[in-house]
Amino acid sequence: MGLGTSAAVVIGSFPLGESDRVVTFFSREFGRVRGVAKAARRIRSRFGGALELFTLGQLVFFDTGRSELVRIDHFDVTHPFAPLRENLETLGEAAWMVEIVARTTGERDRQPALYGLLVRALRAMEVAARPPRVAVCFGVRCLDVLGHRPRLDRCAECGRAYPFARPALGEGGVVCEACRPSVDAVPVAPATVAAFERLRGLRWEEAVASPIGRAGPELRAVLDTHLSRLIGQPTRSGRFLRDVRRLSEVSE
């Protein structure tokens, strides 16, 4: 109860009543915080464009303790991340990252490592030539931070040492062909497992710049499947990305 202040990223919002908005932040000090921004939808709102998705800023809120929703007093923009909203691909990939954060963390569950990872990934995506690569690097590290690091050195079911032929990736990690029927695992190319292993071992800057060749799209799909399992349903931004890709194929 009382006044709270923290650096935070806007990870979602929806309209409330006539002109208010419920905004979800992922903050460094308090984790996921939801609050009401009064009159935020008015053209002359004091919040202006500060509450747009992905915006990084300094959040000041008041928690009455009587509701799950806090009262948003100020949100001073530190970095607007505007370029992320000006391209359909980067918008989709960045939306995928914030959706993962929004749906895998609990309210007021402080996760400074995940907060740092999200801000770093948004900064990288803003200047990235290949936004999906940044999303892949985020996904790989996000699993580690959330405590779901998949095992890649041996079969997660029987313990058989990797490498082996025809690997699959399941919730616990790489799975051999014999164990695959007993778990829900996706068959993948050995190059994808190698890329997964390499990306999580490299420093962030190296990982984002590292060539992973044809393994990229498969690794992206595996991460989406894996994180969707954690969430309990398919990601919504994944659907948006598929629509954008379909449009790119038609317009090219």
Residues that bind other proteins (CB under 8 A): 12, 17-18, 43-44, 46-50, 52-53, 55, 77, 80, 82, 85-88, 91-92, 95-96, 98-99, 102, 236-237, 239-241, 243-244, 247, 250-251
> Least distance (Å) from other proteins to the CB of residue 197?
30
Residue 160 class from Cβ within 10 Å (0-12 exposed, 13-18 middle, 19+ buried)?
Answer: middle
Whose Cβ is closer to other proteins: residue 54's or residue 162's? 54
Q: How large is the angle between the packed helices 88-104 and 215-231, nearest 10 degrees?
A: 40
Identify which of residues 75 and 162 has a Cβ nearer to other proteins in the complex. 75
Alpha helices in the chain (DSSP H): 88-104, 112-127, 131-145, 190-201, 204-209, 215-231, 236-251
Whole-angstrom distance, CA of residue 47 vs CA of residue 138: 29
Question: By C-beta, is 35 or 57 nearer to other proteins?
Answer: 57
Tokens of 234: 């398919």
In angstroms, what is the minimal distance from the CB of 224 to other proteins?
A: 13
> Please, what is the minimum distance in Å from the beta carbon of residue 208 to other proteins?
22
Nearer CB in complex with other proteins: 211/233 = 233
Alpha-carbon gap, residue 114 to 250, rounded angstroms:
37
- Residue 222 phi/psi, 5-degree rounding, is -65, -45
CB-based contact 7:84 (threshold 8 Å): no
To other proteins, the closest distance from the beta carbon of 86 in angstroms equals 7
Please, what is the minimum distance in Å from the beta carbon of residue 193 to other proteins?
A: 29
**Joined tokens for residue 6:** 């923290």
Closest CA to 76 of 44, 40, 51: 51
Nearer to other proteins, 129 or 233 (CB): 233
Query: Minimum CB separation from other proteins for residue 95, in Å?
Result: 4
122 versus 169: smaller Cβ distance to other proteins? 122
